[in-house]
Structure 1
Amino acid sequence: MSVLVFGASGQVGRALLRLRPDFVPVGRALADLAVAGSVDSFLLTPPSPVEAIVNLAAFTAVDDAEKPENASAVHQVNAVAPGRMASWAWAHGVPMLHVSTDYVFPGTLPVGWENPVDGQPAPVNAYGRSKLEGERQVLNFGGRVVRTGWVYDAESRNFATTMVRLARSGVNPTVVDDQYGRPTHASVLAAELAAMVDGKRTAAISHVTGSGPVTTWCGFAREIFATIGHDPRRVKAVPSSEYPTPAHRPRNSTLQIPASGLPAWRDSLRAALG
């Protein structure tokens, strides 16, 4: 029996396979989620009897998702493909976990409030809308959804490694200071997903991020600078209005998480970069 992991080459996928090397990665060569019918074709003859499906694959380039030429790929990867996985899983009595995003929320809650699991989604960009449609498809077929946000590791190209590179290159970055959330190390999410596969978490929708105080992207950047021994004051704070992007970002996408059990994001950051 095998646990299939779609999107295994990404940050969370690599962390999950390090934790559970018995899981089976499904890469683009086996199933290109941007191509209609690829999931169905792959699942016609899976590599072995399937015990569970974990979907980590996504079109995550938020600004690129706004481009008309990417609309089809965004819809296929983030909405259609998860639905096809969930449909197959439901038909074969196999559990499915699908990773989604804090960007399904509009970000309009007052700062200090957190978006609950049963909160009302209302995405403000194309990426969020496609991920919400994927959620709905998965839930319709009895799958489970795991929302997260601000994911990073110390190896990939992401916000954290970009800040490390800028700090060590002598660059003083300008970072928005009015978008709120909590960072999530990939290993934290991977550990929760492994527990869910093992049946230790059964909720239809879960929120998983690092725990601890809510921060901003600027606050996160300053913490990164401090962690690797650089002056955090080198990071200049600006409002989003001074850093326009093609995709609108939610102001407060903080996810409500359990009161205990998830590592503090600052501790995870120090372990990753310290």
Structure 2
Amino acid sequence: MTLRHDRTLQTTTTPIPGLVLVDLPVPGDGRGWFKENWQREKLLALGLPDLGPVQNNISFNDAAGTTRGIHAEPWDKYVSVATGRIFGAWVDLRHGPTFGAVFTAELDASQAILVPRGVGNSYQTLEPGTAYAYLVNDHWSPDAAYTFLNLADETAAIDWPIPLEEAEISAKDLAHPRLADVVPMRGRRTLVLGGDGQLGRALRAVLPDAEFTTRADLDLARPGSWPPRRWRDYAAIVNAAAYTAVDAAETPEGRRDAWAVNVTGVAELARVATANRITLVHVSSDYVFDGTVDEHREDEPASPLGVYGQTKAAGDAIVGTVPDHYVVRTSWVIGDGGNFVRTMASLAERGVDPAVVDDQVGRLTFATEIARAIAHLLAVRPAPGTYNVSNDGDPVSWADVARQVFAATGHDPARVTGTTTAAYFAGRAGIAPRPLRSTLDLARIRATGFEPQQQDAALVRYLTS
């Protein structure tokens, strides 16, 4: 077969999701030919993912009929032919609706194919002296999970040009299982840090297949103590862990702990995510601002007032260096366990009439709303960056929220009196400064198709659930 020299650079999709055939220009003359086998900028412009190759392998095959496969590996590979010609066969061995789907094609040096993680790859040489080349984006590891399918599987029913009984096949490949006995390869996982916190518990409902860790499993303050983990098996890390003791962070010990968890630990997460091409989702806070504007946009420069806010701002900046990241900035978080809303409900029930600050203004953010937004970002995959997330509605003060709690639980909201932040904390030492305006602009998260729920209705649901 004569090498095709008339192809233009283009891609063709296949019945297997993510398996993409690539036509490559191969200009030539009497001296031979030349091709750009992997040209990152051009291929990304055609819609291919950024492979990020770390290894280049070549398999030279002396005879026609050499047959190898079917091997599904836990990394992506970009397959091409340097010399000769192959018949390639690919079978989707991933868990999902296309499990068992088959695609075949003949390839010479003028074509390549992107084979995604979990798709079984195999080929048969059609000419002697065929050199088969492939780029991969992870190094081979004995700890990695592999999936195999028998070349003669009756369900896949691959029509090999050279009958398998006449082909050169290794004993190991001959022993691979039939499709009915193949355990499908699962997709890359999501790892959630802080799985026992209020946000971690909310995330369990929207990310049921994720792996959840606690501080005992993975302590952000002690990156050197993290147990070995095959990070390439993860597609996303959600950091729902943080040091959040705002006032304690103003003490010498608290300052050290806050920087250790919110900065040093986050820096290690950022390093891991960058090195392993993982999406890093990191939860931020309105405390990165000084609260001097009515509504905070994502691009507002950080201006933290206290140590907690300083550590969160530093962590945000570090996460921003990860190629694929989402900083989810929230305010006034309410979740499971002790919190302002539960405290006000308890005071109302016990007949206590509280004085509550009325010069701090913002919106509540229920942990379930943050979890819903994170799941949305991971599903939709908008542009990396920072996204404000809170419940929607008119900005209110903490005193307004307290009155709503009293009313919703059947008590007189007039029992709540307002006071200023300065008066409330007067005479108390070690109190961190609070931003007075914490309302977040929600336009950017809305533009991704996420519609924040109203805080008033969410508050009623929270109190009655």
- Report the TM-score range of the alignment, normalised by the length of the smaller protein: over 0.9
Flag the 1:46–1:27 CA change in 2: closer, same or farther, 3 A.
farther
- The 2-side partners of 1:17 and 1:115 are apart by 29
- In the TM superposition, residue 195 of structure 1 has moved relative to its aligned partner by 1.1
1:147 matched to 2:334? The reply is no
Q: Which amino acid aligns with 2:405?
A: I
Instruction: Provide the residue aligned with 2:459 in structure 1.
Output: 269
RMSD over aligned CA atoms reads 1.6
CA shift at 1:186, angstroms?
0.9
Paired residue type of 2:205: R
Match of 2:200 among 7, 10, 13: 13
Deviations 1:148-167 (A, max 9, x none): 011113x3111111111111
Structure number with the bigger relative contact order (C-alpha 8 A, sep ≥ 6) is: 1
User: How many residues in Structure 1 have an aligned counterpart in Structure 2?
Assistant: 267
What is the DSSP-based 3-state SS (H/G/I as helix, E as strand, rest coil) of the residue aligned with 1:37?
helix
Q: CA deviation at 1:48?
A: 8.1
Paired position in structure 2 for 1:230: 411
Q: Which of 418, 436, 441 does residue 256 from structure 1 map onto? A: 441
Shift of 1:19: 2.0
Measured in 1, the distance between the counterparts of 2:251 and 2:424 equals 19
Task: Find out whether 1:191 has 2:372 as its counterpart.
Answer: yes
Q: 1:45 aligns with which of 229, 233, 241?
A: 229
Q: 2:206 matched to 1:25?
A: no
Determine helix, strand or coil for the equivalent of 2:380.
Answer: coil
- From the superposition, tell whether residues 46 and 266 of structure 1 become closer, same or farther in structure 2 (CA, over 3 Å): farther
Equivalent residues of 1:117, 1:206 under 8 A apart: yes
Cα distance in 2, alignment partners of residues 220 and 59 from structure 1: 25
Q: Deviations over 1:138-193 (max 9, x none)?
A: 1122322110011113x311111111111111111111000111001111110000
Comparing 10-19 with 254-263, greater Cα deviation is found at 254-263
The CA distance in 1 between the partners of 2:398 and 2:388, in whole Å, is: 19
Mapped to 1, the partners of 2:259 and 2:378 lie a distance apart of 26
Q: 1:180 aligns with which of 361, 381, 405?
A: 361
162, 167, 174: which one aligns with 2:348: 167
Match of 1:54 in 2: 238
Between Structure 1 and Structure 2, the one with more helix by share is 1
Counterpart residue type for residue 373 of structure 2: E
Q: How does 1:209-224 map to 2 (within 5 A)?
A: 209-224=390-405
Of 86, 105, 126, the match for 2:289: 105
Q: Deviations over 1:206-238 (max 9, x none)?
A: 000010100111111111111111111111100
CA contact (8 A) 2:190 2:238 kept: yes
State which of 293, 296, 302 in structure 2 corresponds to 1:121.
302
Extract unaligned runs of 5+ from structure 2. 1-187
Q: Distance in 1 between matches of 2:272 and 2:314?
A: 17
Contact 2:246 2:432 in 1 (8 A): yes
| DSSP-derived class of the 2:274 partner | helix
Question: 8 Å contact 1:124–1:248 — kept in the other structure?
Answer: yes
Return the offset for 1:200.
Answer: 4.0
- 1:157 & 1:75 partners in 2: Cα distance? 24
Q: Which amino acid aligns with 1:257?
A: L
Normalised to the residue count of structure 1, the TM-score between the two structures is: 0.93
Q: Note the alpha carbon deviations across 1:47-72, whole angstroms, 9 max, x for none.
A: 88111100011111111111111121
Structure 1, unpaired ranges of 5+: none
Which of 274, 291, 296 in structure 2 is aligned with 1:90? 274
Secondary structure at the residue paired with 1:87?
A: helix
Q: CA deviation at 1:121?
A: 1.1
Query: 1:266 is aligned with what amino acid?
Result: D
Change (3 A) 1:136 1:47: closer
> Cα distance, 1:36 vs. partner?
4.5
State the distance in 1 between where 2:230 and 2:334 align: 30
Provide TM-score, normalisation by structure 2: 0.56
CA distance in 2, matches of 1:215, 1:266: 10
Kept after mapping to 2: 8 A contact 1:86/1:137: yes
Structure 1 contact 104–123 (Cα < 8 Å) conserved: yes
Q: Percent same amino acid at aligned positions?
A: 38
Q: Distance in 2 between matches of 1:53 and 1:105?
A: 25
- Rounded Cα–Cα distance in structure 2 between residues aligned with 1:146 and 1:257: 11
Distance (Å, rounded) in 2 between the aligned partners of 1:209 and 1:221: 18
